[in-house]
Structure 1
Amino acid sequence: MRVEDAVAARWDRIKKELAPQAKLELKSPGVVDAMQLLQHMEREVERYRRTPKPLGHPVTPAMEARVAAAAMAAAEMVTLNVGGTCFATTRSNLLRFEGSYFATMVESALWQPNARGEYFIDMEPTYFDRIVAYLRTGTLSFDGLASADVREFRRLLDYLQLSFVPTEWDPTYCGHSLELQMHNLVVVQKGLGWSSVLSTAPSPFFSVRVLAHHHVDIGFTTRAKFEPNKGHALHPGFFFGCERGYAYSAHEKKPFPKQRGKLIVTASFNQAARDISFEVNGHMLVSPFRLVPTDEPLYPIVRLGEREASVEMTGGHWCEDV
């Protein structure tokens, strides 16, 4: 190839590299002939190729705010060493639930981190990732847990004094003779006969405080089957009848020894196992209901059939002194 042809080919290549979208700036090299200019331009193009280019979208105010929030969180990071497994979260997350184990730990001058800056907690770490997620988001996840695991997880929540009120009673799904009190956490029967109230959102479990001798049924149903003023007929769903002495569904009854005094009744729905169980003051009195349909969300429900009977949604501490 003649020299002129080689130079022409190189020049054509340079012109392609210098397309307008490349935005390549060349500084004058003070050259004296065309060959030096060509060589200089080739070096500049190669340098441009090797220069890191910005990727993605331009930085927005929202992204800057997100990064600033992350930086602030990093500045207040706390490391928890739980049985040899470390979990990191922020101080504000640990303080999220007033009176909890974590809030007390952070605010106490007696509990100091070790030489590595870790707060050691001598307990089993199996479910602790769910605890940290709850501290961050305020939402509990029971996905994938078997019934026995759910009970262990709830014991851990209780030990850590973490409230898990899942919801409140819904005034739009409430019988006409019922009165909601205490920010819709308490429902009281002010009339005669049976009336029902549904929770504001579906939940895998909930706990209520009730007197054993009151005519109160506690359980789960769907919004589609909810009847606020059904009367004495049994309501569709799965229920624990406090005064009845049996738990019931549309297809079966499960008797249990009648209880006395104040009760904390906890209803649990394990979607993975498709079962519903009830515990009274931490003890399971009847076997779970099996093969529970999962095609519609299940909502906590209580039915009250006695004047002045009341049911309180509790903080979930199922083994507390009632």
Structure 2
Amino acid sequence: MTTLRKETVQRSLSGSLDMLKLFSADFMETSQAIKDQLDLLERKEQAWRELQLRIQRNTVAAADAITLDVGGVVFKTSKQTLLRVEGTYFHAMLGAGCWQPDGPANSYFLDLDPTHFDRVMTYLRTSELSFDGLSAWECRQLRSTLDYLNILTPRDLAMSKPTPPLIQWNPHACSSSLVLLHDQRTVQKAAGAGRSVSNAVVGTTPVDVFSLRLDEFPATGNVLGKIFVGLAPSKGFGVYSYNPDRCGYYVELRHGSVFGQDGTAGKPYATGFKTGDVVTVRRCHRQIHFEKNDQELGVAFELGHDEGQQDLLLFPVVSMYYHGATLTLVPSPPKCTNAAGQL
């Protein structure tokens, strides 16, 4: 019996020793794998630091005046302007050391359409990007150029940040002649005659800023036709009422005039909007102003002391009068400007 016990204990100890050796081998293998990963990471970090230093040296060594040959059209600017926005094509062009100004007059050649490249240069200089006067196709071409150059617009930057709660249209505060689509973010005029010539919809939540894209915006139609976009309090607002002169603050998109409950009626403010444009409505510093394709149009309304209180809730609204369109809520740029239109 004693011998049997000894053999049992011996087998148990032997098995435990084998398991310990196996665990030890696994541990050593895992440790080596971790060490290899850390070594690889360290080499990558070193390579990245060396690349950053090389880019810094190359950009410092680059000429202060840069000539660009854009599709055969010459643009001259400063190195400082081209490097003003981080992470663009121009940082790689001047810093990587892979491109040399080997074109006429020591120019860098860019195989791009030069037609609206001046707008790109203006954006790099001033941070103001204008789509004014461009057709929908030209807007797409300009955005394609910006994408090629890896230049982010204010709207791109806004969309890259954490998404705020989505604004939606309220189906319970909507004319029966309007149709809500795409998770209640798109509003369009229903086909056929409605019960009223004035049809409106209100957002589900009060806001200080919202933006709308004009998906379909007919340039022709009833001469009395108007599309109003703005902010309004819920009290006194009617989905079948003509609200612009009695409840809220609006820009009329066909003609660019403004209307408000302060007595403003048809005051000239901006040029009209068209299909593809984005209109932003913003309340800031007791003022209401509008933007067209992220371009500040100036202060439209000065709110009085009582109206400017924080507890006055204003809702996004669209009102269609003798006219129809399709408009979709889109993310708004985050900036808030003062009366001078400055950040």
TM-score, normalised via structure 2 length? 0.44
**Higher Cα Rg: structure 1 or 2?**
1
TM-score, normalised via structure 1 length? 0.46
